[in-house]
Amino acid sequence: MTDAEPRTESETPRSGVGGRPTWLRFAGIAGIIHVVLFVGLGAAIASQAPLLDDSPAEIREWFADNGTAVSLFTWLGPAVGILLLIYAVGLRHLLASTDVDRAADGLWSRLSWTGVVVQFAASLVGLGIWGVLAQESVIEEIADGTLLAFSAFDSIVFFVCMAWASTLFLGAAAVVIFRSTVLPTWTGVLAAVAALATPVGGLWIVTDGDPAGPIAGISFVGGLATMVFVLATSVIMLRQRATSTT
């Protein structure tokens, strides 16, 4: 075979990056650290956050009592998102290495990458709101109506708008995984479950209006599947490189 002839998927290294083992390992490590930090910060801070059905007094009191922790969360949050971006570059290379993605002129890998970028951008908006409300001078002086609006906007950004970005990220990946051998099929199942459950959970905005209700609870399934998918594929990236370089 000459250099000009395209390689079939079976002839392409499963890692999809050939001569870039260090980069793919870096992406895998970034994905693992992202999951650890995301779960840790979520359990420590985000799970206790006020919701739409809380009164202005309750929201004000929570931010006043947790201002330092929320500010730290706001500061670390973008770094956690950057780790996901680094992971997503590795995933994009894996997806782009397949005949499925080549046949679509790179559509699926680009869509998956775009979903992560949009998700990151939306998270910055939500984190910015938290950072503002964590400032003592703001939380003491802000009007009740404005405080409720900020709280509602933050809930909708995180639990509704970001859901569709996650669907783009995971749904496009699932298509390639199911139609190729680049990753185990069970990882595609995880991606598909997350891609479907996350936006369905966001329907709370048009049903009961409760981000802590049963409809919103479906988002937890999507979030859990997402974290397991990122963790599993990150480990696979590391193991593939270790195998291919021995």
Tell me how far apart the alpha carbons of residues 102 and 75 are, in angstroms, rounded to a whole number: 39
Asked if 120 and 81 touch (Cβ cutoff 8 Å), the reply is yes
What is 88-140 written as a DSSP string? Answer: HHHHHHHHHTSHHHHHTTTHHHHHHHHHHHHHHHHHHHHHHHHHHHTSHHHHH
Identify the residue whose tokens are 């639990």.
159
**Dihedral, CA atoms, 171, 107, 18, 4, nearest 10 degrees?**
150
> Tens-digit pLDDT profile for the chain (246 aa)?
444 333 344 333 343 434 445 788 899 999 999 999 999 887 777 667 776 677 888 889 888 888 888 898 899 999 999 999 999 999 999 999 999 999 999 999 999 999 999 999 999 999 999 899 989 889 888 999 999 998 888 888 888 889 999 999 999 999 999 999 999 999 999 999 999 999 998 888 888 777 777 888 898 899 999 999 999 999 999 887 444 433
pLDDT of 53: 72
pLDDT of 8: 40
Identify the residue whose tokens are 């869509």.
111
- Domain spans, the chain: 19-244
pLDDT of 75: 93
